[in-house]
Amino acid sequence: MTKEELLQLTKEILQEADDEDQYVLQLLLSGLKRKQFHEKGSYIGALLHAEGEFKDNHFTIKIPNTPIIQNSLQIVHGGITATLLDSAMGGLVHHVLPPNKTAVTTEIKINYVAPGVGKELTCKTNIIHKGNKTVVTEGKVFRDDGTLIAHSTASFFIINRS
């Protein structure tokens, strides 16, 4: 798609857009702008407006709960919760590995225990086991009222960074 075609598509979308459509488009575009000019991370992290912090061998990611991540019931889509968990637990693993190593997810288990509602979600992670070949982590996602919405464990396979 050319830039001209993209501009035309954007104009067509805006002509029919209600307030929520305009808000979602603003979220998408500001996430893309964030990725282009401010971040070295992933597009998904930028589009989710994720804010991460590594402190005391724990990694936390917060994301706003916006229409772009909600299902038709106006609760956070389970796949987004899974992405948040995988990203946060993987981020933790990357912070504790030496610079010449990285890791990939080999297994993830998630228990969803409450609906994802409220203004933001916070995923808190910790390491259960760190070996020479694998790392096992735990992650919990909370609503802004403190309610646990999901609990997860995941395993990561350590590989050489290319």
pLDDT of residue 37: 80
Asked if 35 and 54 sit in the same domain, the reply is no
Domain at 143, CATH number = 3.10.129.10
Asked if 3 and 29 sit in the same domain, the reply is yes
Asked if 37 and 79 sit in the same domain, the reply is no
Mean pLDDT of the chain: 93
Q: Residue 10 sits in which domain range?
A: 1-43
The number of domains in the chain is 2
- What pairs with residue 58 in β-bridges? 55
Of 24-33, 38-47, 71-80, the range with the lowest mean pLDDT is: 38-47
Asked if 17 and 69 sit in the same domain, the reply is no
Mean pLDDT of 123-127: 98
Asked if 88 and 108 sit in the same domain, the reply is yes
DSSP label at residue 67:
G
Asked if 99 and 59 sit in the same domain, the reply is yes
Asked if 65 and 36 sit in the same domain, the reply is no
Asked if 37 and 52 sit in the same domain, the reply is no
pLDDT of residue 131: 96
User: Where do the H-state alpha helices sit in 39-125?
Assistant: 43-47, 78-96
Asked if 124 and 82 sit in the same domain, the reply is yes
Is it the case that residue 39 has pLDDT exceeding 70?
Answer: no
Asked if 35 and 113 sit in the same domain, the reply is no
pTM of structure: 0.88
Asked if 36 and 94 sit in the same domain, the reply is no
Asked if 66 and 135 sit in the same domain, the reply is yes
In our burial notation (b when 16+ CB lie closer than 10 A, e otherwise), range 118-155 reads: beebbbbbebeeeeeeebbbbbbbbbeeeeebbebbbb
